[in-house]
Amino acid sequence: MTNIYCSQGHQNPSGSRFCLQCGEKIGSVPTSGNSGIQAGQTLGDRYVIIRQIGQGGFGKTYLAEDLNRFREPCVLKEFSPQIQTPYVVQKAEELFQREASVLYKLQHPQIPRFRELLRINIQGKESLFLVQDHIDGETYNSLLNSRQKQGLKFTETEIRQLLQQILPVLEYIHSLGVIHRDISPDNLMLRSSDQLPVLIDFGGVKQVAATVASQYYQTGAITSPTNGTLLGKIGFAPPEQMQTGMVSTHSDLYALAVTMLVLLTGKQPQELIDTYNFSWQWRREISLSSALGQIIDKMLSPIASDRYQTARQLLQVLNPQPIITQPITQTVNHQQTQPPTTATVAISPPKIPTPVPEPVIIPTPSQPGIWTGKNVLILVFVLTIGSYLHWQKIKPPTNNLQTNNPTIVPSSNPTETAKPEVTFSAEERQRKQKLKDRREELDINYKFYVTLVNQVFREKYPNLKGRILTDNPEDENLRTEWDQTAAEVLEKLSAITSDSRSQLGNYTGDERAIWQFKINQINVGSRSLYDLGDAAFFSEFPEQKSKSFIKQPIGQVWYAFVNDQFNAILDKSIFERIVFPEGATGKTVSGTLQPGKGKVFIAGLAKDQNMEVNLEANSKVLLSIYSPSGKIVLIEDSQKRTVSETLPEKGFYEFVVVSKASESVDYQLTVTAENPSEPEPSATPIEEPTPTETPTPESN
């Protein structure tokens, strides 16, 4: 009987319509590729193709059964050059032989065993296959997708366990001079039999393919490759790997850190990194212990020399005790074709060791007579006390800033050993309690509050960038500054309405589309809305002018201020339509503007009319005028007090006045036009700027 498999590699009896393990409809799974390899075909008189299970830039991957090993499932990874010349075929085989010799050296229970390098001529085309053991299990990407359907993600405990189990594997391959190059949730599998992570799909195959292509193109046969080759996944590989192809042991650790963040947050790398300054913003999505947070930040340092350089170094940080290294002999099973080998790997001790006294050697009669019963008892007592004190020293703290008011500032030198419990002064405890009460009163999400204050604090004290504040006495003054910054931020956030505050941390670009659609219905464009929102936001956070902040935590505050202005336009508290009295050629409107406040007016005017606008107000009051279609800006954020124009369009013109004064100011706006006429009901629709043209807070 021939077994059949779903896309996850689960084995099912012949004739199954649905996978017995995951429920996938097997009939929908492709059984062959376009290379002429069909399901049921036997390659090399040994491997029966079951189905295609993947496809990459250099070939396809197939699930097969090994006829020489009682139909054991195995994986065939194909490299089929698009250009078939004697040079390409010869060079590919040479390099694949070298790569195969590397894979052959990898004898570790958490790495698929390499079986052989297979060369096949299929329909006149040379193809090379790497044959490896098949792993019965699921990729971590598949596991994450399944959890997300249930509203779940990986926990910090699970990620710590994953680190403990996969780092010894990396230490092993690195000790042999092998770099994986392509670590991601797709290339880590959780094996069903023992629930251990398995490292698959080494990037050396891609390196071989890229080298073959590069050397072939340099022969002059053709001028340039049709497509560039990137080794490693964008977002997972460190910058230097994607830019130059340079890899090292810390390259794998960088990719492992990104993998952990994806599993913890359920977000892809491009959703977690600020593309403006290439800083990771994962703390918006999840709150971790400060210890693991510091470890991740160090692993993701943009400067390669600032990262952990080896897996052993990282293991020692995770377990601040000596790592016991001992030989592990692989168990011989029915799948092995090679004799058992011995590989040296790091065995990590338990996370929280139980205090056990050092062993006491009781002397034999031939030993010196100093080992009296009394001396033995003394030695036992001393060693027991010493062991206990050592355990107390490494015991994790029960009180830290994350419990009360964390200052999670990325650090390139995370503390590697937990510190003893520290008690804050009565004054500091009282201060932190007030902050907690105020935050809860304003109904601000705790995680967002921490990331926002951290950003403002770092910008206020740039010399502390990369430093994490500890709960030690020497950082008491800095903690006071952080708390003062937090109090100032909370006070500024109190200017936002409760409805808009409650959404802080959850605003997305979708809000802009909603704002635009609804205010367009009353002939107001998004430029006017942003003028009002910017005035309110920069009144409270003037230091953000000319900064690219929209994707930073402070950008969420901008959204909240704009949302308030949006609601105020809809309820007409800051929106008014100017209608000329019958027989008049103009109208005057007036009012008082509070600091950071503004108002938008619209007036229906005709094309070719001569319009004049006069504004009487403090110099801190700015004026903007936009055409009905939004294509023409007559003036913007201007201190001009008189504007004369021959109108280019027919429709509703927008007049925006905003105050940048620190006190309330009065204004008087007069709009006059010759032979004014109301536009027809089908006034010129507002043509909002495209996303690349849309005024954003960065440009103001």
Q: Which residues are catalytic?
A: 182
Q: How many Cα atoms occupy the beta-carbon half-sphere of 534 within 13 Å?
A: 24
Q: Take residue 94 and report the two structure tokens written for it.
A: 């040479």
Note the residue count of the chain: 700
The neighbouring-strand residues paired with 638 are: 623
Q: What are phi and psi of 372, to 5 degrees?
A: -80, 165
Give every strand in the sheet of 114-122, ordered side by side: 42-43, 47-56, 59-66, 72-79, 125-133, 114-122
Phi and psi based region of residue 25 (left: phi greater than 0; alpha: psi -120 to 50; beta: remaining): beta
Q: Take residue 139 and report the two structure tokens written for it.
A: 């990729």
How many of the other CB atoms lie within 10 Å of CB of 476?
14
Q: Take residue 394 and report the two structure tokens written for it.
A: 């490494």
Give the DSSP H or E segment for 597. none
How many of the other CB atoms lie within 10 Å of CB of 329?
9
Q: Which long-range contacts (CB under 8 A, 24 or more apart) does 555-559 make?
A: 555/507, 555/697, 556/448, 556/452, 556/504, 556/505, 556/506, 556/507, 557/452, 557/492, 557/493, 557/496, 557/504, 558/533, 558/534, 558/697, 559/503, 559/507, 559/511
How many of the other CB atoms lie within 10 Å of CB of 169?
23
- Residue 364 has what DSSP assignment? P
366 contact partners, CB below 8 Å, separation of at least 6 = none
- Residue 292 has what DSSP assignment? H
For residues 694 and 526, is the Cβ–Cβ distance under 8 A? yes
Q: Distance between terminal CA atoms of the chain? A: 70
355 contact partners, CB below 8 Å, separation of at least 6 = 387, 388, 390, 391
Place of tokens 């649905």: 18
SS3 content of the chain, % helix, strand, coil (to 5): 35, 20, 45
The neighbouring-strand residues paired with 327 are: 344
Q: Which long-range contacts (CB under 8 A, 24 or more apart) does 490-497 make?
A: 490/435, 490/438, 490/439, 490/442, 490/444, 492/540, 492/541, 492/557, 493/442, 493/444, 493/557, 493/560, 494/442, 495/536, 495/540, 496/557, 496/560, 496/561, 496/564, 497/564, 497/567
Closest CA to 549 of 657, 672, 458: 458
